[in-house]
Amino acid sequence: MSKTIPLRRRAASRPANDGRPARRQDRGDDAKPTRESILRELTDAGVPLAPAEVAARLAIGRKQQHLFDQCVATLERDGEILVNRKGELCIVAKLDLVRGTVQGHPDGYGFVVPDEGGDDLFLSPREMHKVLHGDRVTAKRIGVDRRGRPEAAIVDVLERANHDVVGRLHEERGLWFVEAENRRINQDLLIAPDGRMNAQSGQVVVVEIVEQPSEHGEAVARVKEVLGSPTDAGIEIEIALRKHDLPFEWSTAANRQAQRLPAEVRPADRKGRTDLTDLALVTIDGETAKDFDDAVYCEPDGRGFRLVVAIADVSHYVRDGDALDQDARERGTSVYFPRRVIPMLPEALSNELCSLRPDVDRLCMACDMRIDARGTIRSYAFYPAVMHSRARLTYTQVYAWLREPARAKGTPGAALLPYLAQLHTLYKVLFAARERRGAIDFDTAELALSFDPEGKIADIVPAPRNDAHRLIEECMLAANVCAAQFLAEHEQPALYRVHEGPPPEKLASLREFLAGSALTLTGGDAPTAMDYAALVDRIRDRPDFDLLQTVLLRSLSRAEYSPDNVGHFGLAYEAYAHFTSPIRRYPDLLVHRAIKAVLGGKRYTPKDDTWADLGVHCSMTERRADDASRDVLQWLKCYYMRERIGETCAGTISGVASFGIFVTLDGLAIDGLVHVTDLPRDYFHFDGVRHALIGERTGRVFQLAGRVRAKVARVDLERSKIDFTLDESAQVDDVAALARSSFAEPLARGERARRIGKRAPNRRRGS
C-alpha cells in the first residue's frame, strides 16, 4: 500500500517560485511517465524545468527513470521540447521556435519549410553549413533578409535526412571529397582517409555519411559503392535510383514468395469465377511493353455497346500484408526509364503470371459495361473471371488496320478486325461524350528516344498519339469511373484519384494574364472544367495558342490520391478511381481489394496504414517516380546535345524568370537557359503575371511561348544543364514582329511608361 507524503514535505520538494501544488508522490510504485504527462507538467509550470524537477513532479522513481529518459529524448527528437544552456527542458511552442524541413538551394542558401504551414524562412549559407537538404530542424526567426524575406537561425537538428548520398568523387591537393548529384545538397562531403575504397577521381560513387555537418565542421563520409564512370551506359539510371531513394532490390521474403508462385492458373484458382475465355479479348500496348494490365472487348448491344475491360487480378496473388505486398507498398508504382523498368512487382508476376499474355489463361477482374449510343454508361458489373487473350497487339498495328483494313488481311488481325472496328466506333461515341461533359483536352507532344547498340542515345524522334492510344484511354476511363461509383455507392472507403480546381492565387494570376490578351475565363471564382475546355476551343486557332494553353495548364492543381472524394476537375468526373493498372500502381491494387470485399459482403481495411496515410504515400511515390524519370531524360538529352555545341535550332520560350528565359527546341523537347546577360543589350525586367521579360530601353519582349532561334553554347553533363544564346541573325517567325503582336505590344508600352514614370523624379532632381 503506498503511503501519502505529508503536505509540509511535498511543499519542500517544489522548485522555488512555483505557485502550484506538487502532485501526489507514491513511494511504493513508480508512476509511469508519458510524453503527454511531461508536456503537461512543463505547461503547468510556465517556466523551463530541469529534468529532475519534472521527474519529481511526476513521482518518477528508479524503476521508471529509464522510461522517463526515453520520453524526454523522443520529445526532443520530435521538436516538442528543447534543452537550453542551463540543461532545462523548454516547450518549443513557447520559445517562438519553428519546426520544419530544410530545403536547400544549389547556390548555398536554403529555407525552413514550417510543419504548420506559413511563410518559408530564409537560411543564409552560414546557417545551411550546419545542415543538409531534407533535415528536420527547429529554427528561430531573427528578422528579415535584404530582400525582405523572414530569416531564421537553426536552433537544433531534430532528424538527419541523409545517410547515403550519390555523387561525383573529386581530388584536389590530396583532399578527397564528393559533390552530391542532388544539387540541393550544396556542401561537399569530405572522404575519410581510409574511406575511399580505391575509387578514382571522377567516378560516380555512393557514400555513407559518418559525421553530419555542424557549425564548425564539414560532413565526413566514406565510399560504400562505386557505380562507374559518368558516361557509362545506364549510369544515369543508377544515379537516379539512389538520388531519389527508389527501392530497386527485393526483400528476401518477397523473393521467396515470388519463387513459390505457380507458373500457370491452377484449377483451384478458377473456382467462383466467370469464364470469359470465349470472348475475343485483346491487349493493345506499346511495342516494348511486357506487363499487360488490361484487355478489351466490344460488341453491339442493341443501339449501344457492350464493353468488357478485363484487368489482371493481382490481388489474388498479392495479399494484404504479405511480403510481396509490403515491397509493392513501399515502391508504390513501377518506374519507367528508357530501356529499363523498375517494376512494382517481381517479373514472375508483372511479366508472367499476372500479365495478360496471349494464348494463355489468366485470372482477371472484369468490368462489364452497357453503354448507350450517346456514350452514357447505363449499367455495369464487376466480377472475378478467367480470360484468354486472343492477341498481343500494338498501337501502331491497330491504327494501321483501322485506317486501312486491307492491311490486316493474311494476319491474325483479320479475324479480330470486326471487334477492333466496334472498339473504334465506341471510342468516337465516348470521346463525343467527353466533349459534352466538358473535360479538358490539352494538346501535348510525345517524344521517344532511340539508342545505339552500345546503349548510348542516338536520336530523339516524335511519338505521336493516334486513335489506338485514345481508344484504350477511353475504355480505361470508363472502367475507372465505374470503379469509383461502385465504391462510393457501397460506402466502401478507398483511394480516389482526385484533382481539385485551380487554387485562388493561381486563378487570380490566370485571369490577370488573360485580360492582357482580351480573353476571359467564365465561371467566376469557381470555374469548371467545361469553362476551361470552352476557352481552349475558342483559342485553338490563335497564333499564341501554345502560350495560352501553357498558362492554362500551369494554373491547375496536381492530381493526387485521397480517401476524400472531391472529384476529378480535369476529367470532369464526380468520382474517379484508378482500377486498370494493378501491376504497376499500388492504388489500383487497393481498389481491387476494396471491390472484392464489397462483392463478398465485407468491408476492406488495409493493414498497418490508414487510408489517409496511404493516399499521402502513394502520391509521394508517384512524384518520386516522375522526378527520377525526368532526371534521367534530362541527362540523356544533355548527353545527346554534347556533340551539337554551336548548332542553331528554332525553339519556343517555355519558361520565364528574372534571370533569363528557358527555350524548348522544336521537335526535341530539349530545354535550355538563355541567361538574362545573353539577351540583347538592355535592362530587362521580369513581369510574373504576363510571364515576360521586358527591355527597359527597347521595349523588347521575351514572353512565354514566344519564338526564337537558340544556339547551343554550353552543356554541363554533371549538372544536366544546357545553356543557349540567341541567334539574332535569323529569328524565327520574326521575333520583332512578335514584340508588336496583339498580346505583346500593350505589354511593352505599359512597361515603358511605368519605367519612365519611375525615372522622372530623378531627372527633376538632377535639373
Residues 314 and 463 in one domain: yes
Check whether residue 375 and residue 316 sit in a common domain: yes
Do 610 and 741 reside in the same domain of the chain?
no
Residue 557 placed within a domain: no
Range 387-409 average pLDDT: 93
Place of cell 532561334: 709
* Judgement on whether residues 327 and 264 belong to the same structural domain of the protein: yes
Name every residue whose Cβ is closer than 8 Å to that of residue 650 and which is 6 or more positions away in sequence: 665, 666, 707, 708, 709, 710, 732
Higher pLDDT, 660 or 87: 660
Sign of CA dihedral 587, 356, 296, 368: negative
- Give domain status of residue 341, yes or no: yes
Report the number of secondary-structure helices (H) and strands (E) in the chain. Answer: 19, 33
Whether residues 349 and 425 fall in one domain: yes
Residue 720 DSSP class: T
Residue 226 β-bridge partners: 205
Decide: 118 and 60 in contact? Cβ < 8 Å. no
Position 753 pLDDT exceeds 50:
no
**pLDDT at residue 591, as a whole number:** 98
Are residues 296 and 213 part of one domain? no
Q: Are residues 305 and 358 in the same domain?
A: yes
Same domain, 753 and 680: yes
Percentages (nearest 5) of helix, strand, coil residues in the chain: 35, 25, 40
Report the C-alpha gap between 114 and 98 in whole angstroms.
6
Mean pLDDT of the chain: 87
Task: Verify that 150 and 176 share a domain, yes or no.
Answer: no
Stretch 383-407: mean pLDDT: 94
Is residue 450 scored above 90 in pLDDT? no
The model's pLDDT over 138-168, given as tens digits with 9 standing for 90+, comes to 888 888 888 888 999 898 898 999 999 999 9
- Assigned domain for 541 exists: no
SS3 state at 469: helix
- Residue 595: is it exposed, middle or buried by C-beta count within 10 angstroms (0-12/13-18/19+)? buried
Q: How far apart are CA 139 and CA 160, in angstroms?
A: 15
Phi, psi of 535 (to 5 degrees): -70, -40
SS3 561: strand
Do 608 and 747 lie in a common domain?
no
Residue 388 covered by a domain: yes
Residue 452 predicted with pLDDT over 90: no
Count of CB atoms within 10 A of residue 208's CB?
15
Model confidence pLDDT, tens digit, residues 583-640 = 999 999 999 999 999 999 999 999 989 999 999 999 999 999 999 999 999 999 999 9
* pLDDT tens digits along 271-324: 999 999 999 999 999 988 889 999 999 999 999 999 999 999 999 999 999 999
- Residues pairing with 448 in the sheet: 461
Cell numbers for 143: 528578422
Residue tagged 505457380 (cell numbers):
262
Q: Please, which pLDDT band fits residue 6 given cuts at 50, 70 and 90?
A: very low
How many whole angstroms separate alpha carbon 386 and alpha carbon 728?
Answer: 64
Residues 385 and 459 in one domain: yes
Q: What is the CATH number of the domain that holds 749?
A: 2.40.50.140
Confidence (pLDDT) at 734 = 43
Q: Is residue 639 part of a domain?
A: no
pLDDT attached to residue 30: 61
The verdict on residue 746 lying in a domain is: yes
Do the domain assignments include residue 1? no
CATH of the domain at 65: 1.10.10.10
Per the structure, the complete domain to which residue 154 belongs is given by 96-159
Share of the chain above pLDDT 90, in %: 63
Please say if the pLDDT value at position 646 is more than 60.
yes
Residue 247 has phi, psi (to 5 degrees) of -65, 125
**pLDDT level of residue 576 (50, 70, 90 thresholds):** very high
- Burial code of 424-434, b = ≥16 C-beta within 10 A, e = fewer? bebbebbbebb
- Determine the Cα angle at 209 with ends 205 and 215, to 5°: 125
pLDDT at residue 202, rounded to an integer: 92
Q: Can you tell me the distance from the alpha carbon of 163 to that of 159, in angstroms, rounded to the nearest whole number? A: 11
81: in domain: yes
Strands 707-716 and 721-726: antiparallel
For the segment 665-674, the average pLDDT, to the nearest whole number, is 87
pLDDT tier at 240, thresholds 50, 70, 90? very high
> Per the structure block, which three cell numbers stand in for 625?
517516380
What are 151's strand-pairing partners?
122, 143
Whether residue 152 sits in one domain with residue 172: no
Instruction: Note the pLDDT of residue 25.
Output: 42
Residue 92: pLDDT band (50, 70, 90) is confident
pLDDT digits 0-9 by tens, 691-748: 899 999 999 999 887 889 999 999 998 888 999 999 877 544 444 343 333 333 333 4
Task: Answer yes or no: is pLDDT of 526 > 80.
Answer: yes
**Residue 202 sits in a domain of what CATH number?**
2.40.50.700
Round to whole Å and give the CA distance between 131 and 155.
11
Q: How many domains does the chain have?
A: 5
User: What secondary structure letter does DSSP report for 608?
Assistant: S
